Amino acid sequence: MNSLRWPQNARCAVVVTVDFNDEHGILTQEPRIAGREKSLSVWRYGAKRGVDRVLDALEEFDVRSSWFVPGRVAETHVDLVQRIDAQKHEIGNSGYVCEDFDTLTLDAQKDAFRKGRAALAHALGRRAQGFRSFTGNWAPGFADFLRDEGVTWSSSWRGDDLPYFHLPDTDAALAAPRLVELPLHYELEDEPYFAYNLSPAVPAGQPRIPSYREVLRNWKHDFAAFLRFGLCFVLRLHPEIIGTAGRIDVLRELLTEIRSHDDVWFATGSEMAAWWNQNVEANEPGHPVEVYARHRREEA
């Protein structure tokens, strides 16, 4: 059992994250949707209705969250992005058009990051501290690049129930500020439960759209376990999915359950990364992220 104590003597930490991708995320996953207005409208719904519903729910429960916005969305929905910012939510970088980093070279990944960062800076007047790779992966050397660019945290990878540090890929980066990862779990996302399009099929093979009651039950069950073991519960939402008229109450009921406990610390990604950097000296011995990073360095 984790013996870590969070700020305010909390037993568990909660970080709510939201991916505001508009149509770009689905176009990366399923390029055949390009030009199909009916299908694209499923994902454009987030900008029309979902963002406001999610913001209202977060305000109701006094939760500050971290949103990831690709640069193209910051350009096309600048008013919404500025509204999210005005309500004191954090906004992080997600590339320019939710690029599939699996298909890009390191230099192309850097270009996508820079283009997204520039669009966000133009909309908000400052640089983002957080980053999320849409597909979760990146090339060796990209973590060092993020550090050099002033990024303090990522929420892209998986592999743990607590934050961890990315080991530098080169000796030259050993003295750089540490990059904190806030790991994700598929079961703590809305997309694996609810994403759906009839034609072309999303997900491939179909069907999906489970019972709202059972998804809420899953999330409550996971939160209870994270609370019991003193872990960091990272929720990943999408306004076009959780922000429908019916599903928004799934989020509201989950937040009701979490707020019923007085030993939970809600944090933005940047707040979590800053606290982790100040209070944790290193990854646990034998952490997989270090084992594989060292293996890559030995092979280089």
CATH class of 7-299: alpha beta
For residue 1, name the pLDDT band (cuts at 50, 70, 90): very low
| Entry pTM | 0.93
More confident residue, 209 or 266: 266
* CB burial string 127-163: b at 16+ within 10 A, e below: ebbbbbbbbeebbebbbbbbbeeebbbbbbbeebebb
pLDDT for the residue 31: 87
Q: Given a cut of 90, is residue 202 above it in pLDDT?
A: no
Q: Given a cut of 50, is residue 27 above it in pLDDT?
A: yes
Helix (H/G/I), strand (E/B), else coil: 20: coil
Question: Tens digit of pLDDT for each residue in 142-191?
Answer: 999 999 999 999 999 999 999 999 988 765 555 567 999 999 999 999 99
* CB burial string 16-25: b at 16+ within 10 A, e below: bbbbbbbbbb
Each domain of the chain, given as residue ranges in start order, spans 7-299
Question: What percent of the chain is modeled with pLDDT above 70?
Answer: 94
pLDDT for the residue 3: 61
